[in-house]
Amino acid sequence: MSISTRRARERANTHERIIEAALHVLETEGPAALTIRRIAGDVEYSAPVVYQHFANKEALVLELVAHGHRLMLTRFLEAAQEADVDLRMRRAASEYVRFAGEHPHLYQVMNAPAIDADERGRVAQPAVDALKELLNTWSARHDVVLADLDEACETLWGTMHGIASLGYLSNVGNDRARRLAEQALHAILLGWRAEASANDQGRREKMQG
Amino acid sequence: MSISTRRARERANTHERIIEAALHVLETEGPAALTIRRIAGDVEYSAPVVYQHFANKEALVLELVAHGHRLMLTRFLEAAQEADVDLRMRRAASEYVRFAGEHPHLYQVMNAPAIDADERGRVAQPAVDALKELLNTWSARHDVVLADLDEACETLWGTMHGIASLGYLSNVGNDRARRLAEQALHAILLGWRAEASANDQGRREKMQG
DNA sequence: TTTCGCTTTCTAACGACGTTAGATTTCCTA
DNA sequence: TAGGAAATCTAACGTCGTTAGAAAGCGAAA
């Protein structure tokens, strides 16, 4: 038994090393440098060895995407330590954009259209759930009844992604993008609260009239 | 003179046909199918001919990006026909997302990280200016003094791009994305107005106290 | 200890890509 | 109608992802 377990351990180790090497190349040299031969060279193997661990390049890249989302979730959960709900949302937005700025290439691959939408959805689910919960407690805290929590979630997610994108699509730097994200979040939440209180007022007037 | 002008005309014609062929391939079959050989074949030439009209593939793609932005600007200006400022903004947002949904591959290339940020900024400038003007009249209409018009513009742009991205990044369809965009825009504008009126009230109280 | 067989790993290759050099053809001019 | 410039093509280079088949390594049975 000992020998096959050792083999399995070595196999798993190589698997891990390939992912690490790929991640390193991606982060330091960008997606164009991320070739199978390069990765194989970095782990001191020939190219075909990579295919014993991953069906194809896409599968390997998907692992990097998953890794990226786990990393992002960690950040998110750190921000969730914050006691105050409003500050928590603000920090979450800020950290999201900061992540995009600190790992630009990884972030770009995480959100590349080439990645299958279902797969991306799968690996991003935990982060989406965390956002959903956060948004839920926020709405409870401010007595704001959101018409559709999922839609509100998507709106926030999309907004943050769009503004984070500005960091590399335009020449808006990351610091500025972070400020923009906080402002946008602030405006949206304020808007939702304004709408909610307007609805309340409308309902009250109807009751009285 | 007649002969060299004819040559120039033919040259320009070929140039145009290459762009059209490239655009057609991109829109109907996606970026993966957009190869030099394929484009050349579609205009019934051999591959190297393309290089007499474009320095390299990137330059050709940049023309497609520019074309896309012109198309988008057209939509934007159509939406700007709307008399009411608020409806105009709403329609602009809606049309932006609709464009992304109707030309998904073109939109993706327009916002691909591989495109140089400066070049993108150059071709997108007219649209940004139009948005800036629209936002300006909106803020005048509602007596909202935006702290920084450029930042507000970037925020809106980023937000719309992010939500439009949901159309292909996640499984949010284009119809839903368009609704989300309208809602997000509505919330942000409401938030800005709420903030502005809060500032006004604060100032008034200070004057009185 | 030596040979067998399985696993691991490598070399070589395929087809497609962007791109370039050099041969070939086309077409105007003298 | 011959010469030369312009236009165009064929062939190739180096790179990519990927696969087939040879070579090597290594634990177990004779």
Contact B149, B132 (CB under 8 A): yes
Q: What is the pLDDT of residue A12?
A: 78
Both tokens of B116, joined, read 């140089």
User: Nearest CA of chain A to the CA of B156: how many Å?
Assistant: 8
The CA–C1' separation of B6 and C27, in angstroms, is 13
Q: What is the pLDDT of residues A56-103, one digit of tens each?
A: 999 999 999 999 999 999 999 999 899 999 999 999 999 999 999 999
Q: Indicate the DSSP class of residue A30.
A: -
- Count CB-CB contacts under 10 A for residue B8: 10
Co-location of B47 and B65 in the same domain:
no
Co-location of A69 and A152 in the same domain:
yes
pLDDT value at B209 more than 60? no
pLDDT value at A1 more than 60? no
Contact assignment for A194 to B194 by CB distance below 8 Å? yes
Which string of b and e fits A87-120 if b means at least 16 CB within 10 Å?
ebbbbbbbbbbbbbbebbbbbbbbbbbebeeeeb
Task: From chain B, pick out residues whose CB is under 8 angstroms from the CB of A159.
Answer: 158-159, 162-163, 184
Co-location of A120 and A163 in the same domain:
yes
Position B65 confidence tier, pLDDT thresholds 50, 70, 90: very high
Average pLDDT value for residue range B26-31: 98
Co-location of B63 and B43 in the same domain:
no
Position B197 confidence tier, pLDDT thresholds 50, 70, 90: confident
Q: What is the pLDDT of residue B188?
A: 96
Q: Which of residues B11, B30, B54 is at a domain's end?
A: B54
Co-location of A182 and A195 in the same domain:
yes
Contact assignment for A117 to B160 by CB distance below 8 Å? no
Co-location of B44 and B129 in the same domain:
no
Co-location of A41 and A111 in the same domain:
no
Of the ranges A101-110, B42-51, B199-208, which one carries the lowest mean pLDDT score? B199-208
User: Residue A50 is inside which H or E element, if any?
Assistant: none
Co-location of B141 and B198 in the same domain:
yes
Q: What phi-psi label fits residue B82: left (phi over 0), alpha (psi between -120 and 50 degrees) or beta?
A: beta
Closest nucleotide relative to residue B49's CA, C1' based: D8
Is the CB of A38 less than 7 A from some atom of nucleic acid strand D?
Answer: yes
The CA–C1' separation of A192 and D11, in angstroms, is 65
Residues 51-110 of chain A within 7 A of strand C, judged by CB, are 52
Position A47 confidence tier, pLDDT thresholds 50, 70, 90: very high
Co-location of B6 and B82 in the same domain:
no
pLDDT value at A201 more than 90? no
Is the CB of B66 less than 7 A from some atom of nucleic acid strand D?
Answer: no
- Count CB-CB contacts under 10 A for residue B24: 12
Q: Using a cut of 0.75, tell me whether the model's pTM lies above it.
A: yes
Provide the residue range defining the domain that includes A101.
58-208
Co-location of A171 and A120 in the same domain:
yes
Residue of A190, A193, A195, A199 to mutate, interface with B, max B Cβ within 10 Å: A190
Average pLDDT value for residue range A2-16: 78
- Count CB-CB contacts under 10 A for residue B54: 19
Q: Which of residues A12, A32, A54 is at a domain's end?
A: A54
Could you tell me which residues come within 8 angstroms of residue B113 by beta carbon, excluding any fewer than 6 positions away? A108, A168, A169
Count of domains for chain A:
2
Contact assignment for A168 to B113 by CB distance below 8 Å? yes
Q: What is the pLDDT of residue A77?
A: 93
Is the CB of A47 less than 7 A from some atom of nucleic acid strand C?
Answer: yes
Q: What is the pLDDT of residues B14-25, one digit of tens each?
A: 999 999 999 999
Cα–Cα distance for residue pair B184/B177, rounded to 1 Å: 10
CATH of the domain at B1: 1.10.10.60
Cα–Cα distance for residue pair A81/A73, rounded to 1 Å: 13
**Of B86, A196, B189, A87, whose CA–CA distance to B197 is shortest?**
B189
Contact assignment for B155 to A183 by CB distance below 8 Å? yes
CATH of the domain at A161: 1.10.357.10
Of the ranges B3-7, B17-21, B112-116, B193-197, which one carries the lowest mean pLDDT score? B3-7
User: Nearest CA of chain A to the CA of B122: how many Å?
Assistant: 10
Co-location of A65 and A16 in the same domain:
no
pLDDT value at B203 more than 80? no
Contact assignment for A183 to B113 by CB distance below 8 Å? no
Cα–Cα distance for residue pair B15/B60, rounded to 1 Å: 10
Position A187 confidence tier, pLDDT thresholds 50, 70, 90: very high
Q: What is the pLDDT of residue B66?
A: 98
Co-location of B48 and B105 in the same domain:
no
Task: From chain B, pick out residues whose CB is under 8 angstroms from the CB of A117.
Answer: 168-171
Contact B38, B25 (CB under 8 A): yes
